Amino acid sequence: MSAFDLLMGVLLIASALAAVTLKNAVHAGLALVANFLSLAVVYFALEAQFLGWIQIIVYAGAVMVLFLFVIMLLFDAKADVGLDRLPWMRPLAAALAAAFFLALAYAFSGVGPVNPLADVKLGGGLPKALGGLLYGNWLYTVLLVAALLFAATVAAVSLVQPQIRKARVKPQVLERDRELEEVGK
Amino acid sequence: MTTLIILFAVALLATFAGFFAPPRSVKIVTLLGMLTALVGLALTWGDRATAFGGLYVADAFSQAVTLVMVVGAILALLADCGYFERKGWPAFEYYALVAFAVFGGHVMASTAHLGVLIVGLEILSIPLYALAASRRDAAGYEASLKYFLLGAVAAAFFLYGIALYFGSTGSFVLGATGKGLVFNAAVLMLMAGLSFKTALTPFHWWTPDVYQGSSTPVTLFMATVVKAAAFAALARVLVAVGLTGPAFYAFAAIVLLTVFWGNLTAMVQGEAKRMLAYSSVAHAGYIAVALFGPNPAPAMGFYLLAYALSTGLAFAVLAELDDGAGVPLEKLAGLWGRSPLLALGWTTALLSLAGLPPLIGFWGKYLVFVEAAKNGQYLIVALALFAAVIAAYYYLKLLAVALFGKPVKAEPVKMSGSAPLGIALAAALVLLLGVLPGIAYGWFSAATVLIK
């Protein structure tokens, strides 16, 4: 494990922890941006350049900016998020996470790169190499992702559209009905 | 390939038909599409088709599971009618999302490639997160959010499992040889991710809240379609890696926990939908018992069909009684006097779920237990059988309330639209395939889980 690996690991874990624990929604969003950027650096280090740029442009750029806009439009930017209804869960979750980490660390102990990717020509992870793969062997997956995004759009639209309204009744009509009822008594 | 195209075309058609037709017409379009899918399945039954360089494989097992999913979707569509006539019709997206979920389930069932599997899993799940909130009240939103958050965590586990699987075998395709600790960790994580979707204990915590909070036709859909698709994927994964070593012990523990936890907690519930949710957890355990056998596909396919018909029937009856606030046991009281058809359906469904002969549920249980016994897993079979005997208690309790309970208001239940048709159809199938189980078993007997 090199110093770079260690540094990136610490950065990734710290920013992820900050994203879920910070009380201020905007701070949490910014921590998530930091997390995305660290991840992009890891991609670059793995010579996945296209993926790294996509990570920055799409996630850290477009998605997170939209996210921050929504947060700032919806709440007071200082709004507290994450009211903790089950505070006793926290130490339990931490203990379980630690156990999970140790188990995985044990699984990885003494294992080198199990399956070296040296024989795969990725051309520095640039679109030229990726395009052939995406529209060759992985075409089915690309098509399915298109279907997934379409289904997700339909789902999102169905979630946000307003309630199916009953026929709108004018206030004057309501008032008249009320008066008629009173007369009836 | 035919089925894949038909299912995708139905989803698209349902989406675009909604732009210029009222929701009820979209429902008919979706229903007709599902019937077309049935015809397509029947025409290609037993044919093996591969496409996209082997990423899509429609073999006998995938067809069996797809049959169960289409039947479940048809039941859900038929049962929704009375419910929504009273509650107000949902937006047309409801039907499009149902079609998309079935399409995703079919994708999941017809592949041995983990990358395709996770995309299929998401195509199945994302429509469901929205469907769970279709009733648009606090309980519905809670159900949807819970399902979404826990589903996202499960998907993360599954993805991490895929990464480890690739790291230890160098392949995304199931069946690659691998060994060592990293491989075991990968298998356990894949198992955990899919156990969530199949609602196996201890990954079932979402089930009761989501089943109770969703509108009843959606619950019907979840209990039948999602279970079938998730079990198809789980079977593909576990049979390909082989249930040996730590995976065997982990899975045996999960299955035994599931059958006991599901049945014991179902006993103390006071609401019918919640009770059936725990019953669905327990049934997931029985289906999983088949995975300990040498060739689980026929028994699993049969059990999934039996379970989809029985629990679909039970939820269809509940959909007629549910006014949006759930079905407390008192609401079931005196069902026989209020609506003989509902009472008949309810009785058939519960006796089939309890596993009494000559209903289809009995043969399902018989097949999965025999399957596991073929590999000498007598301890698991004996314990699961014991749990099934415990389960009879609460099924009979539900039945007794409906048959002998004194109703608060003895008014007849008004049924409307296509719901009676769905209930009659499902009840007839539960009876018919129970008396002649050979017919249904014949459909599944050629299935194998492994894709070579």
Q: How confident is the model at residue A113 (pLDDT cuts 50, 70, 90)?
A: low
Q: Is B93 in Cβ contact with A157 (below 8 Å)?
A: yes
| CB contact B80 to A (< 8 Å) | no
Q: How confident is the model at residue A185 (pLDDT cuts 50, 70, 90)?
A: low
- Interval B255-306: pLDDT, tens: 999 999 999 999 988 889 999 999 999 999 999 999 999 989 999 999 999 9
Cα-atom radius of gyration of chain A, to the nearest Å? 26
B257 vs B201: CA distance, rounded Å: 6
Q: Is the pLDDT of residue B408 over 80?
A: no
Q: Which of A109, A145, A164 lies closest to B119 in CB terms?
A: A145
Q: Is the pLDDT of residue A118 over 80?
A: no
Q: How confident is the model at residue B323 (pLDDT cuts 50, 70, 90)?
A: confident
pLDDT, average across residues B123-129: 95
Instruction: State the pLDDT at residue B264.
Output: 93
User: How many interface pairs between A and B have CB atoms less than 8 angstroms apart?
Assistant: 94
Q: Is the pLDDT of residue A9 over 70?
A: yes
- Interval A49-108: pLDDT, tens: 899 999 999 988 888 888 888 877 876 555 555 567 778 888 998 899 999 989 888 888
Q: How confident is the model at residue A114 (pLDDT cuts 50, 70, 90)?
A: low
| CB contact B122 to A (< 8 Å) | yes
- Interval B334-373: pLDDT, tens: 888 888 899 999 999 999 999 888 899 999 999 999 999 9
- Interval A15-43: pLDDT, tens: 999 988 887 788 888 999 999 999 999 99
Q: B9 is written with which tokens? A: 């075309």
Q: Is the pLDDT of residue A174 over 60?
A: yes
Q: Which of B11, B100, B115 lies closest to A141 in CB terms?
A: B115
Which residues fall within 8 angstroms of residue A80, CB to CB, at 6 or more apart? A23, A24
**Element holding B58 (H helix, E strand):** strand B56-58
The C-alpha of A72 sits at a distance from chain B's nearest C-alpha, in angstroms, of 22
Q: Which of A41-50, B318-327, B422-431 has the highest mean pLDDT?
A: B422-431
Instruction: State the pLDDT at residue A173.
Output: 76
Q: Is B134 in Cβ contact with A158 (below 8 Å)?
A: yes
| SS3 state of residue B80 | helix
Q: How confident is the model at residue A115 (pLDDT cuts 50, 70, 90)?
A: low
Q: What is the mean pLDDT of chain B?
A: 90
Q: Is A104 in Cβ contact with B126 (below 8 Å)?
A: no
Q: Is A111 in Cβ contact with B182 (below 8 Å)?
A: yes
B139 vs B130: CA distance, rounded Å: 13
| SS3 state of residue B173 | strand
The C-alpha of A53 sits at a distance from chain B's nearest C-alpha, in angstroms, of 21
B318 vs B335: CA distance, rounded Å: 11
Question: Above pLDDT 70, what percent of chain B?
Answer: 100
| Contacts by A60-66, CB closer than 8 A, 24 or more apart | A60/A33, A60/A36, A64/A29, A64/A32, A64/A33, A64/A36
Contact by Cβ (8 Å): B228, B67: no
A176 vs A183: CA distance, rounded Å: 11
Question: Above pLDDT 70, what percent of chain A?
Answer: 82
Q: Is the pLDDT of residue B71 over 70?
A: yes
Instruction: State the pLDDT at residue A169.
Output: 65
Instruction: State the pLDDT at residue B146.
Output: 93
The C-alpha of A155 sits at a distance from chain B's nearest C-alpha, in angstroms, of 5
Tell me if ipTM is over 0.90: yes
If you measure CA to CA, which chain B residue comes closest to A148? Answer: B123
In B66-208 the beta strands, taken as DSSP E runs, fall at none
Phi, psi (rounded to 5 degrees) for A137: -65, -35
A95 vs A110: CA distance, rounded Å: 24
pLDDT, average across residues B231-257: 91
Q: How confident is the model at residue B156 (pLDDT cuts 50, 70, 90)?
A: very high
Q: Which residue, B114, B380, B372, is CA-closest to B236?
A: B114
B278 vs A75: CA distance, rounded Å: 38
Q: Is the pLDDT of residue B179 over 80?
A: no
Contact by Cβ (8 Å): B345, B316: yes
Number of residues assigned to chain A: 185
pLDDT, average across residues B412-424: 84
Q: Is the pLDDT of residue A121 over 80?
A: no
Higher pLDDT, residue B196 or B170: B196
Q: Which residue has the tokens 């499009």?
A: B96
Amino acid at B153: V
Q: Is B100 in Cβ contact with A154 (below 8 Å)?
A: yes
- Interval B12-22: pLDDT, tens: 999 999 888 88
Q: Is the pLDDT of residue B178 over 90?
A: no
Instruction: State the pLDDT at residue A20.
Output: 84
Instruction: State the pLDDT at residue B223.
Output: 93
Q: How confident is the model at residue A164 (pLDDT cuts 50, 70, 90)?
A: low
Q: Which of B53-62, B94-103, B388-397 has the highest mean pLDDT?
A: B94-103
Instruction: State the pLDDT at residue A1.
Output: 67
Instruction: State the pLDDT at residue A116.
Output: 56
Question: Above pLDDT 90, what percent of chain B?
Answer: 63
